[in-house]
A and B are shown apart, each in its own frame.
Chain A
Amino acid sequence: MIKKYSWVQIKKTILTPDERAKSLPEPTRKVPLLMWVKGFLQEDSEIGDEVKIKTITGREESGILVCENPSFQHNYGNFVPEILEIDKIVKSELFGGETNE
């Protein structure tokens, strides 16, 4: 159970596919417009419950409880060896090959 006043993230459908703008490309028209927002949980709840939250600006939003203490996990990704190759290309062009010391 997630306690009242915990910092959480919710997900909500803003527009169902049939409510969406008419001019959308096919892949977008067949999926709903979704929203994710964070705030303080207003009642003890479980993941997947329909809940109310108070956001950091004090607004009330409702939606499906997704997680507690949502975190950012973005990073520098997997190593991309081509980046080393770029260094080699520009350094050898400018300084004259691998023998430059």
Chain B
Amino acid sequence: MNNSYEAVMARKNSIMKDSVGIDYDKFEGDNINFDYEAMMADCGFTLDEVRKIQSDYGVGNTPLKECKNITALARKVSKPGYGARIFIKDEALNDSGSFKARRASMACFQAKKLGFKGVIAATSGNYGAAVASQAAKHGLKCIIVQECFDSKGIGQPEIVEKARACEAYGAEVIQLSVGPELFYKFLLLLEETGYFNASLYTPYGVMGIESLGAELIEDSLKMIGKIPDMVVCTNAGGGNLTGTARGIVKTTSKKVQIVGASVNLKGLHMASDIDFNLKSFTTGHTGFGLPFMINPDRSDVPRSAGRPLRYIDRYVTVNQGEVFFMTETLTALEGIERGPAGNTSLAAAFSLAQELKEDQVIIVQETEYTGAGKHHQAQLSFARQNGIDIFFGNPKEEIPGKNIILPKTVDLIKIQELDLDQIRKKYIQTQLTKTDSLTKSDIEFLAIETNTNIPYIMDEINKYHIAVED
């Protein structure tokens, strides 16, 4: 068989189809639309079943904790009467140390059910350890493919730690240097082994998080007697936000504002061998968040189940210095030591809480485990070794890849709002590059995908020379 880069990429659709047990073709519609809800339903698990499976495999039912001191700190710099109560869902307490266990639990359960001998996932994040841990429980073999090193073999400390965790859970870890052709090796491995593709973006990877959305509502009702006003989700590929929002919608008919938060890595190229080790966050950042929001189907499956634009109400960024600062604040004021990447949404929540009144509630929907490499001390030290300037000042002046600016005072921790309208328009533009004409169903699809309406879509498509069929 021809295993050249071009030849393998050319047969990616057939490799993917064999490796996830989902016939994506049957959900396809006219030109650009597909039946998302049918795809989600076709996988055959209700939310109750998801929760039962997760409970059997060490996942879920993590505690909701009120960060009273962090709330008090936010109120010190809020207008009088403002400063919502901040809670965290301590997802670090899942087996394998992050909310990703929820996603992996369903992928591995399904792989076992379908009779696969093993699972493969392409991930440099917590998802690797999550899949390895769940695979161990099911007696499945496991291969994790990581982008880990630059071409000199220097690894991001937090990714090296994740490699260690994957190996600890019995996985084979393939470590690659920087480059999107990781996908090429991933396809070769799927073909060679016949294992299940435990992609983050299959319906299993997203329905597994619906339980988190459901728990947020139930925990909040139990602890506070009301549902949260706002839930902040760290956003990268979009699955976390999508699954959480879907779980919330399935559990309450009341409106909860869904905010996505990413670390601002503007200016750093995600495929650059040099930029790779100049960043201090390897996930939860705008380098994934924006492209995946504009084009969710750029993932490793034909149709991504993570579709954040359907659910997101606001999209905000915080800078690296702010996230490190809040990670240390969580340790110093709440006595909870957790990994930095999971605290992206906490840093955003600290700022967002100041917009809400004191009796309102904001939930940060995840934390992640910490340890050697995956710790703000390790990551700041690594940044400094790579020539990044670290100092106190105004984080808004931070230049990713050049410096990390820790806020000099807590009032300088401020989210930056991204323009969702612009993102929606870019999403529509991307969709329109895939077709010469649109049907009524395509237009309805665009409205649902962007959480807008038909007039909005018509206004937008009128700017392009595109035929609209009757």
Q: Which residues of A contact B (CB under 8 A)?
A: 11, 14-15, 19-21, 24-25, 27-28, 31-39, 55-59, 72, 74-80, 82-83, 85-87, 89-91, 93-94
Contacts and interface: CB of A to CB of B under 8 A. Distances in A.
Contact of B173 (A37, A79, A82, A86): A37
Interface residues of B, number: 68
B329 A86 contact: yes
A24 B409 CA distance: 40
A90 B118 CA distance: 48
Interface secondary structure of A, over-half rule: mixed
Contact of B175 (A37, A59, A76, A83): A37
B421 to A, nearest CB: 28
B157 interface: yes
A34 B172 CA distance: 16
B172 A86 contact: no
Interface in B422-454: none
Interface string B46-78: 000000000000000000000001001100110
5 contacts: A32-B177, A36-B149, A74-B373, A86-B332, A93-B77
Contacts of B275: 27
A77 B380 contact: yes
A33 B375 contact: no
Interface secondary structure of B, over-half rule: mixed
B160 interface: yes
A20 B89 CA distance: 42
Contacts of A91: 332-333
A46 to B, nearest CB: 20
B174 A76 contact: no
Contacts of A21: 5, 179-181
Given A32-B151, A75-B372, A27 B380 contact: no
Contacts of A27: 272-275
Contacts of B325: 86
Contacts of A79: 377, 381
A94 B380 contact: no
B164 interface: yes
Sorted from nearest, which 6 A-B pairs have the closest CB atoms?
A77-B381, A31-B151, A74-B373, A34-B177, A86-B328, A77-B378
A59 B172 contact: yes
B390 interface: yes
B160 A74 contact: yes
A77 B382 contact: yes
Nearest to A71: B164
B470 interface: no
A83 B337 CA distance: 13
Contacts of B372: 74-76
Contacts of A90: 73, 328-329, 332-333, 410
B406 interface: yes
B314 interface: no
A25 B269 contact: yes
B378 A24 contact: no
A31 B159 CA distance: 21
B172 A76 contact: no
Nearest to B159: A74
Given A82-B380, A83-B328, A94-B76, A57 B143 contact: yes
